[in-house]
Structure 1
Amino acid sequence: MIIDSHIHLHLDSATDDPDIGGKIIRDAMRCGIGACIASHVIAEPSCGGGAYPSSRHLREANSYAAEQARRNPGRLYFLVYLNPQNPDWKQELERGVENGAVGVKLWISLKNPHGGLEETVAVLRRAAELKLPVLLHVFNRTGGNLPGEIDMMEFAWLSRTVPECVMIAGHSGGNWRESSGMLKYCSPNVYWETGGSNPDRGMVDGILRSCPPERLLYGSDAPGRAFTPQIWKIMESSLSPADRDLVLYRNAMKIFHIPEPAPWSEIAPRNLSVPAGEDEDHYCFCGKYPFDRRRSIPPEELERLLAEHGIRAAYTAELDSIFHIDLPESNGEFLARCSGLQRIRPLAVVNPDAHNWIAVLDQAASGGFSGVWVSPAFHCWELGSPRYTEFFKRCAEREMPLWVNCGFGEPRFFHPSLKLCPVEDSEIGEFMNTAPVNAYVFQGKMPPENLPRREDCRWVLTPLTDFGGKLKRFMEMNPAPGLVWGSEFPFRDLGEVREATCTQFR
Structure 2
Amino acid sequence: MRIIDVHTHPILREDQRGPAGAAQLIRRARAHGIEHLVALGDVLAFSRMQTVEQVQLINDETAAVMRAHPHFVTGFCYLNPLLGASAVEAEVARGVARGFRGLKLEIANNARDACMAPVMRAAERHGLVVLQHAWSMTNIHQRRFHTDPEDVATLAQRFPRVPIIMAHLTGCGVRGILAVKGCLNVVIDTSGAAPEAGLVEFAVEQLGARRVLYGSDAPVRDFGVALARITGSRLDARTQRMLLHDNASALLRLP
Q: What TM-score comes out, normalization by structure 1 length?
A: 0.47
Contact in 1 for aligned 2:189/2:214 (Cα 8 Å)? yes
Q: Note if contact 2:12-2:18 (Cα within 8 Å) is conserved in structure 1.
A: no
Mapping for residues 53-202 of structure 1, pairs under 5 Å: 53-87=50-84, 88-111=87-110, 117-144=113-140, 146=142, 147-172=144-169, 174-186=171-183, 188-202=184-198
SS at match of 1:105: strand
Aligned length: 251
- Structure 1 residue 13 displacement after superposition: 4.4
Q: Deviations over 1:187-242 (max 9, x none)?
A: x2211111021012222112223111111110000101111111111112222211
CA apart distance, 1:25: 1.1
- Partner residue, 1:479: none
Q: In structure 2, the residue corresponding to 1:174 is in which secondary structure?
A: helix
Aligned equivalent of 1:217: 213
Unaligned ranges ≥5, structure 1: 260-506
Q: What amino acid is aligned across from residue 26 of structure 1 in structure 2?
A: R
* Structure 1 match to 2:247: 251
1:234 is aligned, of 213, 230, 233, to 230
User: Residue 90 of structure 2 aligns to which amino acid in structure 1?
Assistant: Q
Instruction: Trace 1:88-487 onto structure 2 (pairs within 5 A).
Output: 88-111=87-110, 117-144=113-140, 146=142, 147-172=144-169, 174-186=171-183, 188-259=184-255
CA contact (8 A) 2:74 2:100 kept: yes
Measured in 2, the distance between the counterparts of 1:13 and 1:117 equals 28
The residue type paired with residue 54 of structure 1 is: T
How many angstroms apart in 1 are the aligned matches of 2:189 and 2:10?
18
Kindly state the Cα deviation for residue 257 of structure 1 after the two structures are TM-superposed: 1.3
Alignment check: 8 A CA contact 1:38 1:65 kept: yes
Q: Which residue of 2 aligns with 1:481?
A: none
Inter-partner Cα distance in structure 2 for 1:204 and 1:174: 12
Taking the aligned partners of 1:183 and 1:202, their CA distance within structure 2 comes to: 18
Deviations 1:43-67 (A, max 9, x none): 24xxxx2112211111111011101
Measure how far apart 1:16 and its partner are.
Answer: 8.4
Q: Structure 2: which amino acid aligns with 1:103? A: G
Aligned residues of 1:138 and 1:173 also touching (Cα < 8 A): no
Q: Secondary structure at the match of 1:247?
A: helix
Q: Is the 8 A contact 1:14 1:42 kept in 2?
A: no
1:95-137 Cα deviation digits (max 9, x unpaired): 01111111111111133xxx96111122012101100001100
Go from structure 1 to structure 2 and tell me whether the alpha carbon gap of 1:145 and 1:251 turns closer, same or farther (over 3 Å shift): farther
Distance 2:83 2:221 in 1: 29
Question: How far apart in 2 are the matches of 1:173 and 1:107?
Answer: 17
- The structure in which a higher percent of residues are helix is 2
SS in 2 for 1:214: helix
Q: Quick check: 2:78–2:105 contact (8 Å CA) kept in 1? A: yes
Give deviations 1:279-324, integer Å, cap 9, x for gaps: xxxxxxxxxxxxxxxxxxxxxxxxxxxxxxxxxxxxxxxxxxxxxx
Gapped regions of structure 2 (runs ≥ 5): none
Max Rg structure: 1
The answer as to whether partners of 2:129 and 2:164 remain within 8 angstroms in 1 is: yes
Q: Aligned-pair RMSD on alpha carbons?
A: 1.9
Structure 2 match to 1:347: none
1:240/1:184 CA distance change after superposition, 3 Å = same
* Structure 1 letter corresponding to 2:226: Q
The residue type equivalent to 1:206 in the other structure is F
Amino acid at match of 1:210: Q
Q: Deviations over 1:123-167 (max 9, x none)?
A: 012101100001100111233373411111111011010001010
Does the C-alpha gap of structure 1 residues 116 and 238 become closer, same or farther in structure 2, counting only changes over 3 Å? closer
Deviation at residue 42 of structure 1 after TM alignment:
4.0
Deviations 1:151-188 (A, max 9, x none): 111110110100010101000272312222223332x2
Asked if structure 1 preserves the Cα contact closer than 8 Å seen for 2:77 and 2:92, the reply is yes
Question: 1:11 Cα shift?
Answer: 3.6
Structure 1 match to 2:20: 19
Q: For 2:57, what is the secondary structure of its paired residue?
A: helix
Q: Partner of 2:235: helix, strand, or coil?
A: coil
3-state secondary structure, aligned to 1:205: helix
| In 1, Cα distance between equivalents of 2:169 and 2:15 | 27
* 2: CA distance, partners of 1:85 / 1:257: 30
Three-state SS of the structure 2 residue aligned to 1:223 is coil
**Cα contact 2:169–2:192 (8 A) shared by 1:** no
Aligned identity (percent) is: 28
Contact 1:80–1:103 (CA under 8 A) maintained in structure 2: yes
